[in-house]
Amino acid sequence: MGPLLPQNIPCVIKNTGNPSAPGSIIDGNVKSESLQVKGITNLDNLAMFNVSGPGMQGMVGMASRVFSAMSGAGISVIFNYSVFV
């Protein structure tokens, strides 16, 4: 989205299961600050999730508990860590 919006180029997102449907248009016309699209992705055989919350700051062992539960379920983890202040 980054390269498109400054140039006022709309992005049309279509449903690959129903390409004749109108889809969604993403452009610079923001109608709600809280509903802005941050990103779109499709990765086959990969699920992405976010574990966050104000009560987690300083919570020792949280990542260990999450990854242990996933390991116990036979789930491989590709780890990406970000901190936003």
Residue 66 · residue 51 · CB < 8 Å: yes
pLDDT, tens only, 13-50: 888 888 898 888 888 776 666 655 566 666 777 777 77
Domains in the chain: boundaries:
5-72
Count of CA atoms in the C-beta half-sphere (13 A) of 13: 10
pTM for the model: 0.38
Phi-psi region for residue 61, left (φ > 0), alpha (ψ -120 to 50) or beta? left
* Mean pLDDT, range 54-83, rounded to an integer: 79
